[in-house]
Amino acid sequence: MKIRDEIKFILNGRDITLNAFKAEQTLLEFLRIDQQLVGTKEGCAEGDCGACTVLVGRLVNGGLKYEIVNACIRFLASLDGCHVVTIEYLSGSNGDLHPVQKAMVECHASQCGFCTPGFVMSLYSLWMENPNPSKRDVEISVQGNLCRCTGYEPIINAALSVNKFGNPTFDQLNTERENIINKLSRLQDDARVEIGDDNNKAILPANIDDLAQILEDRPNSTIVAGATDVGLWVTKFLKPISPVLFIGQLTDLKKIEVNDDMLTFGAGVTYTEIQDYLSKFFPFLENYWDRIAGWQVRNMGTIGGNIANGSPIGDTPPILIALNSDIILRKGNQIRILPIEKYFIEYGKQDLQKSEFILGIRVPLQSNNQLNSAYKISKRREDDISTLAVGISMNIENGLIKDCRIAFGGMAATPKRALVTEGSLKGKTWCYEAINEASKMLNEDFSPLSDWRATKEYRMTVARNLLNRFFLEHDLEIIEPIQLHAGF
Amino acid sequence: MQDFERISMENVKKISGRIHSNHIHDSATKHVTGLAKYCDDITEPVGTLHAYLGVSEVAHANIKKY
């Protein structure tokens, strides 16, 4: 096994090689303090406000894909082999403004200006992918950017007008694309990367076998995939996380496969990477997916990580439980398959052995008789953590509820099935009365807590209402089912 | 210490145009390029002292020892 003791990446137009830095050093610290690139701002330091938005380009199937990320919670070590693009790279060498910047100026889209560099980066990414966006496309592209004084209207107007100021074909990231691909390809060497001494160590395993081996040798390692949760352990709780195993770069963990009746994907697959598959095989999740954080987080965060951290309010576990998914675990050379609901034992405790890690997730494809919905309730429509979330899946045959699975997040100390409610529904006629009666059973399944997101009474009432909403949206008797598009 | 730029009011560009005509924010170019300097963007000289307010816990009192 070849071991490399430095990371290499491209920062704007420069090659960077680093061999000594803290395992938990963030990209934002590196940019602002080490490199004095202070155009990228620190707002919340938790991946929420988007003031620190930068582009990270990486090789994907031989091509080069640029995505916006939050530099504040992106760890420096995870940039090995990437191209980092900051606000400083946008203006031409003669000081000419970039088309996105011109549009922002012309549309009066800045006031205090603090969030502006982040917005420019998000709109830059949008313009490169989609030069003629709809208003909805723009709104989704800036879900992860908060502005508290200018107002979103001029920013959206700017986004809609960027194409008047330039064509992305002539943008430097496109004209230099081949050159960057060649440079990044030369950096790929299939080596394990180890930075630092035993007190402070960052490791990028070479492949999955190597990851399994390192976890055997160092069972107390912190595994970091997208860092959208672990990043906060560092920036908010100042928690030491060394030794850190970075797995986001492992292409073996990013495989997505569809066979006859299963969608199987690796633990390193991000929300963005799975999106097309979900639209195709689980179209009911399309709207739900836009409710998960913002683009910056969806580009980094993984579904594997969302499960692994065991949070009771993760966005995906209730849905995956309702869809009867399994997780695939690996320890050494041993593989273990576990129904995902069994993984969550109690608050802070999961069914994960020493040196074991989540390898992948498999979700059964749906039959024609199956009705599915996913709902998320949060204080803010975009870019927020759920107050409660629910996945509901019912199998209706000949007007009867043959089977059903209902799983809630935010109603207990773990993501949890409503087994009593499910039991009371099985065999019943699919009708409003049956669903409404069953929704009253939810208090036998759950005793939710009051916290600053919601009171226990609110949680219970909303949970019942969501079950009724499920009926109204799916009622087969109604010729045009009611589609409730309200944000909350 | 760095001399702060003195601004003479005679040199400030006069506001022109009429009501209902939009003006570009005078810092807009700095905002969109990331060149606008905020407090945290200014490099601290080595050894910079930091001061914090210690707020009294009583409204009216004599300091007897410190």
The model's pLDDT over A83-123, given as tens digits with 9 standing for 90+, comes to 999 999 998 777 899 999 999 999 999 999 999 999 999 99
* Mean pLDDT of the A437-457 span: 96
Beta-carbon count within 10 A of A442 CB: 23
* H or E segment and range at residue A11: strand A7-11
- Say yes or no to pLDDT of A275 above 80: yes
* Mean pLDDT of the A144-156 span: 96
* Mean pLDDT of the A65-76 span: 98
pTM: 0.92
Asked if A105's CB is within 8 angstroms of B32's CB, the reply is: yes
Q: Tokens 């006031």 appear where?
A: A111
Asked whether the beta carbons of A160 and A153 are under 8 A apart, the reply is no
Question: What is the Cα–Cα distance from A388 to A313, expressed in whole angstroms?
Answer: 7
Beta-carbon count within 10 A of A419 CB: 15
Structure tokens, A384: 């927020």
Mean pLDDT of all residues in chain B?
82
- Say yes or no to pLDDT of A402 above 90: yes
- A116/B contact by beta carbon, under 8 A: yes
Would you give the DSSP letter of residue A366?
P
The model's pLDDT over A218-272, given as tens digits with 9 standing for 90+, comes to 999 999 999 999 999 999 999 999 999 999 999 999 999 999 899 999 999 999 9
Asked whether the beta carbons of A129 and A197 are under 8 A apart, the reply is no
Contacts of B32 (CB under 8 A, 6+ apart): A97, A100, A101, A104, A105, A110, A116, A117, A120
Q: What angle do CA A225, A323, A140 make, to 5 degrees?
A: 55
Q: What is the pLDDT of residue A184?
A: 97
Domain boundaries, chain B: 1-66
Asked whether the beta carbons of A140 and A152 are under 8 A apart, the reply is no
Asked if A108's CB is within 8 angstroms of B22's CB, the reply is: yes
Contact residues on chain B for A114, CB-CB shorter than 8 A: 38
The model's pLDDT over A278-288, given as tens digits with 9 standing for 90+, comes to 999 999 999 99
The model's pLDDT over A49-58, given as tens digits with 9 standing for 90+, comes to 999 999 999 9
Asked if B31's CB is within 8 angstroms of A117's CB, the reply is: yes
- B33/A contact by beta carbon, under 8 A: yes
Contact residues on chain A for B43, CB-CB shorter than 8 A: 36
Cβ-defined contacts of A392-396 (< 8 Å, 24+): A392/A322, A392/A466, A392/A467, A392/A470, A393/A322, A393/A323, A393/A324, A393/A366, A394/A370, A394/A425, A394/A430, A394/A470, A394/A474, A395/A367, A395/A369, A395/A370, A395/A371, A396/A369, A396/A371, A396/A430, A396/A476
- Say yes or no to pLDDT of B7 above 50: yes
* Mean pLDDT of the A39-45 span: 97
- Say yes or no to pLDDT of B13 above 70: no
Asked if B32's CB is within 8 angstroms of A110's CB, the reply is: yes
Q: Tokens 């998960």 appear where?
A: A292
Contacts of A212 (CB under 8 A, 6+ apart): A330, A331, A332, A333, A355, A357
* H or E segment and range at residue A363: strand A356-364
Q: Which residue of B has its CA nearest to A52?
A: B34
Domains, chain A, in order of start with CATH, read 3-88+176-246 (3.10.20.30), 99-170 (1.10.150.120), 262-364 (3.30.465.10), 370-474 (3.30.390.50)
- Say yes or no to pLDDT of A366 above 50: yes
Share of chain A above pLDDT 90, in %: 93
More confident residue, A127 or B18: A127
Q: What is the pLDDT of residue B63?
A: 86
The model's pLDDT over A372-386, given as tens digits with 9 standing for 90+, comes to 999 999 999 889 999
Contact residues on chain B for A110, CB-CB shorter than 8 A: 25, 27-28, 31-32
* Mean pLDDT of the A58-79 span: 97
Share of chain A above pLDDT 70, in %: 97
Contact residues on chain B for A91, CB-CB shorter than 8 A: 33
Q: What is the pLDDT of residue A125?
A: 98
- Say yes or no to pLDDT of B2 above 50: no
Q: How far is CA A207 from the centre of its chain?
A: 22
